Amino acid sequence: MSDFSFRRHEKKYLITEQQKKALLDAIVDHMRPDAFCPDGKSYLIRSVYYDTDDNHLIRLSIQKPTYKEKLRVRKYGRYQDGRNDCFLELKKKTAGIVTKRRIACTLDEATNFIEKGVVPIREDYEEKQIIAELKYFLSCYRVKAKTMVVTDRVAYYDKDNPDFRLTFDTNLFGRRQALEFDVESSLGRLVPEGMVVMELKVVEAVPLWFARLLSNLQIYPSSFSKYGAEYRQYILEGESHHV
């Protein structure tokens, strides 16, 4: 699998801190923290999701159709770190299979492409193909930045099968104002305090040892989307203002 394209099964689980600790204790012989979180330290992820004026993409997504897609700009690194690099990502889900296509670019390249139609120039064949897909998506939808989702993540990979990964997201927040990547304020919590979003990512089958572990700990999949959770919160807050 290249750094530009991912095709895999993904499942999310909403778990407690106690369940997370039990999992981490149990996977120590099988999995290792990835290179971005040595010693189990988390790293920051900030994602700006793009949608139409009437929120068509997320409204369709939460209806759980056979096919859905979303566009986001994702940035790693800490606030005020001076970095201008990001990933422009097109994520699709078809019959339970997730495909993510992305290009590495600067923030200026990403916003100019989305908002002004200025196509990034690349020489790599696969990047050219992904840019063509992004260009087609943008021809179908007139989108703009709608929300930012921020989380702290810890990620692990299987020692014997690097295509099997686990991520744990905590301090999950979202906002619809001040969508600049270095702004830290005006965030709304997207999951209850003390809860963790665990995501399982695998190309083929989940290892038997892990399936047994989930069963033993009574951990079951949960239908959860970060952008979906933010949108539901946005709708609820809007309704409460009219009560």
Domain segments of the chain: what residues? 5-240
pLDDT tens per residue, range 70-99: 999 999 999 988 889 999 999 999 988 999
Given pLDDT bands bounded at 50, 70 and 90, which one contains residue 186? low
**Closest to 10 measured CA to CA, from 91, 102, 129:** 91
In terms of phi and psi (left: phi > 0; alpha: psi -120 to 50; beta: otherwise), the region of 171 is: left
pTM: 0.93
* Residue of higher predicted confidence among 108 and 36: 108
Burial class (CB in 10 A: 0-12, 13-18, 19+), 58: buried
Backbone torsions φ then ψ of 37, nearest 5 degrees: -135, 65
CATH code matching the domain that covers 5-240, chosen among 1.20.120.1200, 3.20.100.30, 3.40.50.2000, 3.40.50.2300: 3.20.100.30
Q: What is the pLDDT of residue 70?
A: 97
pLDDT tens per residue, range 114-158: 999 999 999 999 999 999 999 999 999 999 999 999 999 999 999
What is the average per-residue pLDDT within 217-230? 93
DSSP state of 206: P
Q: Give yes or no for a contact between 83 and 181, defined as CB atoms under 8 angstroms apart.
A: no
How many angstroms separate the CA atoms of 194 and 182, rounded?
25
